[in-house]
Chains A and B, each alone.
Chain A
Amino acid sequence: DAKTTQPTSMDCAEGRAANLPCNHSTISGNEYVYWYRQIHSQGPQYIIHGLKNNETNEMASLIITEDRKSSTLILPHATLRDTAVYYCIVNLDNNDMRFGAGTRLTVKP
């Protein structure tokens, strides 16, 4: 069972920041927060992961609250190609990743 709660769907205007929330109130101290996305008819793609500190890479930023009970994935300048299902996963490592239903993000022109 997924340990996270995400909105079912979200819309974002092209060029604007997309902020995708995730609740993980039962996260344990050594569990990481992972984000993957799945564009239609493709396999999931890794985006970013973090433990306590905020993380940034070329794709996105991950903001984790101080109590670690929630996080936000930020796509700074969303494009139409960012339309996908985004999965937030809490796990000790990359074994046995438990995907929930995710958030369907639609980027609109």
Chain B
Amino acid sequence: DAGVTQSPTHLIKTRGQQVTLRCSPKSGHDTVSWYQQALGQGPQFIFQYYEEEERQRGNFPDRFSGHQFPNYSSELNVNALLLGDSALYLCASSRGRGHTGELFFGEGSRLTVL
């Protein structure tokens, strides 16, 4: 049973560029959340997708956007990259929303902005 898979694992961009990160949730899961983790800090919630719509959003600017596809996979897009966007981007999946069960995390996509 494949867990949460993310791609790419590493990528380098320059300031002002745009990036798309991808996530496939664990089998049977329909809810995807995205987190940003800067070096030495805990993960920060970006947003959550369920039924192909953004359901909750953390304190991130509109440069951060996402999408969820009918097969429940998801993309995170970041426009006009800043140096401060360099971080590990984590995807987490769960079954349904508002449950108390565990979140399953992927290994992350490490973005470096030069």
B43 lies within 8 A of A99 (CB): yes
A94: B residues at CB distance < 8 A: 94, 99-103
Q: How far is the CB of A46 from chain B (nearest CB, A)?
A: 3
16 contacts between A and B (CB under 8 A): A2-B42, A32-B100, A41-B107, A44-B105, A45-B105, A93-B100, A94-B101, A94-B102, A95-B97, A96-B45, A96-B48, A97-B33, A97-B43, A99-B42, A99-B43, A102-B42
B44 adjacent to chain A (CB < 8 Å): yes
Residues of A within 8 A of B70 (CB): none
Contact A98 B105 (CB under 8 A): no
A96 with B58: in contact, given A42-B107, A43-B108, A44-B105 (CB under 8 Å)?
A: yes
Interface assignment of B90: CB less than 8 Å from any CB of chain A = yes
Number of interface residues of B (CB under 8 A): 27
List B contacts of A87 (CB < 8 A). Answer: 42
- Complex Cα–Cα for A87 and B43 (A): 10
Whether the pair B45, A97 counts as a contact (CB closer than 8 A) is yes
Q: A99 to B40: give the CA distance in the assembly, Å.
A: 12
Q: Please report the C-alpha to C-alpha distance between residue A44 and residue B35 in the assembled complex, in whole angstroms.
A: 11
